[in-house]
Amino acid sequence: MYKIIKKKVLNPQIKMLEVEAPYVARKVQAGQFIILRVNENGERIPLTVADYNREKGTVTIIFQEIGKTTMLLGSLNEGEYILDFAGPLGCATELDGVKKAAVIGGGLGTAIAYPSAKALFNNGAEVDLIAGFRNKDMIILEDELSEVAHNVYITTDDGSNGRKGFVTDMLKELIDAGNKYDLVIAIGPIPMMKFVSKLTKEYGIKTIVSMNPVMIDGTGMCGGCRVTVGGETKFACVDGPDFDGHLVDFDEAMRRQQMYKEQERKSCENCRLRGAN
> Rounded mean pLDDT of 21-44?
92
> Rounded mean pLDDT of 85-93?
92
pLDDT band per the 50, 70, 90 thresholds, residue 276? very low
Q: Which domain holds residue 164?
A: 100-257
Among 65, 89, 113, residue at a domain's last position? 89
Alpha helices in the chain (DSSP H): 22-27, 68-74, 109-122, 142-146, 167-176, 190-203, 236-239, 250-257, 261-269
pLDDT at 202 over 80: yes
Are residues 84 and 126 both part of a single domain? no
Residues in the chain: 277
Are residues 56 and 80 both part of a single domain? yes
Beta strands in the chain (DSSP E): 2-9, 14-20, 33-37, 45-53, 58-64, 81-82, 84-89, 100-106, 126-133, 151-156, 183-187, 207-210, 226-229, 232-235, 242-244
Are residues 156 and 78 both part of a single domain? no
- State pLDDT tens for residues 145-154: 999 999 999 9
Provide the domain count of the chain: 2
Q: How far apart are the first and last CA of the chain?
A: 23
Can you give the CATH number for the domain in which 196 is found?
3.40.50.80
Nearest to 200 by CA among 174, 165, 166, 172: 172
Does pTM surpass 0.75?
A: yes
- pLDDT for 277 equals 40
Are residues 23 and 84 both part of a single domain? yes
Q: By mean pLDDT, which of 32-41, 43-52, 254-263 is the weakest?
A: 254-263
